[in-house]
Amino acid sequence: MSVPERLRQRREELGLSQTRLAGIAGVNPATVNGIEAGSRSPSVRTIEKLAAALNIPATYLLEEPAHPLA
């Protein structure tokens, strides 16, 4: 899964709208929308804020998928 997919999945698991997540995390709602849409690349600080708001480690959002040849 990609960052947008992980972010959306966790947000939906918690029953949060993009606007509510943005408010909790202290970021602009357009930022959350852009990240989930794949049109924005979040900074490390934004990832940290979103992860804290979602009660997950930032590394969860940033995990790379397993390489098919690994």
Tell me the backbone φ, ψ of residue 69, rounded to 5 degrees.
Answer: -95, 0
Query: For residue range 52-64, what is the model confidence (pLDDT) as tens digits?
Result: 999 999 999 988 7
- pTM of the predicted model over 0.85: yes
Domain layout of the chain by residue ranges: 3-59
What single string gives the DSSP state of each residue in the chain?
A: --HHHHHHHHHHHTT--HHHHHHHHTS-HHHHHHHHHTS-PPPHHHHHHHHHHHTS-HHHHHPPPPPTT-
Query: For residue range 17-63, what is the model confidence (pLDDT) as tens digits?
Result: 999 999 999 999 999 999 999 999 999 999 999 999 999 999 999 88
Any idea which fold 3-59 has?
Answer: 434 Repressor (Amino-terminal Domain) (1.10.260)
- Least Cα distance to 49 among 64, 63, 35 occurs for 35
Give the model's pLDDT for residue 62.
87
